[in-house]
Structure 1
Amino acid sequence: MIELILTGLWLGLVFNAAPGPVFTESLRRGVRGGFGPALGVQVGSLVGDAAWAVLGLAGAAAMLTQPQLHVPLTLAGCLVLLVLGFQGVRDAIRPRPRQVAAQVTRSNILRGPLTAGALVSLASVWNVVYWAGAGGAVGGALGQDAPLGPLAVFFMAFMASSVVWCFVCAGLIAGLRRAVSQLWTRVIEGGAGAALVVMAVLLLAQTVQTTLS
């Protein structure tokens, strides 16, 4: 049981600490708004973490690698990344006054850190690939007819590690925000937005190439 808990904690750390769209969006919002927005994106991403963990442990994540499901999910993920990425580049070039930014946040669903984190995580094709492999590995280690108890222990350990990482990541980003000037804040914000756009374009190109081949 201890080994199972440690495995869940380790996989949770690896899953969340790996650089990707969630971290990039956390950086983009956190370098501008501080600890709260960065934490909001991270906490929102827990929705996707939990959903993909359940699908992976149930063996259903592998089904989403099939073209008829994989392609629509990839397109949705590309759209989310493009919208957030262009917002980041725009906000870095023309930062809005705080009052205006608050009004835009309430009127645009993708502006809210919690919602953005959830959408990025749920629509991430990288999560599908990760759990298609990790879920099968965990299921194979526990056996095909593994009881619900060990799976629940693994899931709780995975989520506990994910929650801890939310605060660690947000704290690191908040520390970076305090250490850089306003100019570098805009540079990092714009760079993170551009990185999201590049991720979307590369993912779309890869999907088109795979589909046509």
Structure 2
Amino acid sequence: MLALFFTAAVLGLIFNAAPGAVFAETVREGVRGGFRSALAVQVGSLVGDATWAILGLAGVGLLLQMQALQLPIGIAGTAYLLWLSWDSWSAASQEFVIEGANSHADTRRALRSGVLLSITNPQNVAYWAALGSAMGAVGVAEPTLTHYSLFFAGFMASSLVWCVVCASIVDRVFRNTGQRWARLTYRLCAIAFLLLALSSIKNLLQPAIAGAPPSEQVQAPEVSRGN
């Protein structure tokens, strides 16, 4: 049981530490709002992670892998990434206060961004669907509710630790950042969001290749949270 918990914790750390949209948004919010805003993005992303985790470990993820459901999720995620790219690039041209912007509205916005990025990430669907059906790989031949609960607890425990660590790093790195570097960071985040959106579009178009023999069909990319 203890081995299952620590295995889940390690997987959670790897899952969350992978750079991607959530990390880019954490940096973007952290530049302006510091630790609280950066932490809000990370915690918000856990809401989506927990949702997909529960569905995946319960076996419902196998159903959610159906193309009919992945497509609208992917489209929504791509649209949100494009909006974040535009918003970040536009904000880089405006005057804004670094630090001191930790109002409730800023924190709620950061929290909402984290939730939306996680909920609309189609890779999370495939990740948890596969993991929910692969408990045997960690030595559990016939998983029970206790096994699933323990795995979920280990995963979320390491995820919460990573939230604090990531927000702290972002806060320290950008705490004394001037306007010039803040603008550059916003533009870099905008480019990152755009590239992630283009990558999502590419992944959405891949299943559209029809008529090819199974051996010639494009294999699904390795799944990661994209943090």
- Please give the range of the TM-score, normalised by the shorter of the 2 chains: 0.7 to 0.9
Residue ranges of structure 1 left out of the alignment (5+ in a row): none
Residue of structure 1 aligned with 2:198, choices 198, 201, 205 = 201
Higher deviation after alignment, 198-207 or 132-141: 132-141
Q: Is residue 211 of structure 1 aligned with residue 208 of structure 2?
A: yes
Partner of 2:156: 159
Residue in 1 aligned with 2:78? 78
Instruction: Find runs of 4+ consecutive structure 1 residues off by over 4 angstroms.
Output: none
Contact 2:36 2:102 in 1 (8 A): no
* Structure 2 partner of 1:10: 10
Higher helix share: 1
Q: Is the 8 A contact 1:31 1:177 kept in 2?
A: yes
2:26–2:41 CA contact under 8 A, matched in 1: yes
The alignment partner of 2:22 has SS state of helix
CA distance in 1, matches of 2:150, 2:206: 40
Among the aligned pairs, what percent are the same residue?
A: 41
Per-residue Cα deviation, 1:68-121 (whole angstroms, up to 9, x for no partner) = 1111110011111111221111111223468xx899x95x9xx70011100100
Task: Give the corresponding residue for 1:32.
Answer: 32
1:178 positional shift: 2.7
Task: Report the TM-score when normalising by structure 2.
Answer: 0.82
Query: Equivalent residue of 1:112, what SS?
Result: helix
Residue 51 of structure 2 is matched in structure 1 by 51
Q: CA RMSD in A?
A: 2.4
Asked whether 1:150 is paired with 2:153, we answer no
Aligned to 2:218: none
Counterpart Cα distance in 2 of 1:30 and 1:134 = 32
Give the letter aligned to residue 7 of structure 1.
T
| Residue 115 (structure 1) aligns with | 112
Structure 2 CA distance for partners of 1:209 and 1:157, relative to 1, 3 Å: closer
- For 2:135, the equivalent position in structure 1 comes to 138
3-state SS of the aligned residue for 1:142?
A: coil
Question: Aligned with 1:34: secondary structure?
Answer: helix
CA separation in 1, counterparts of 2:18 and 2:54? 20
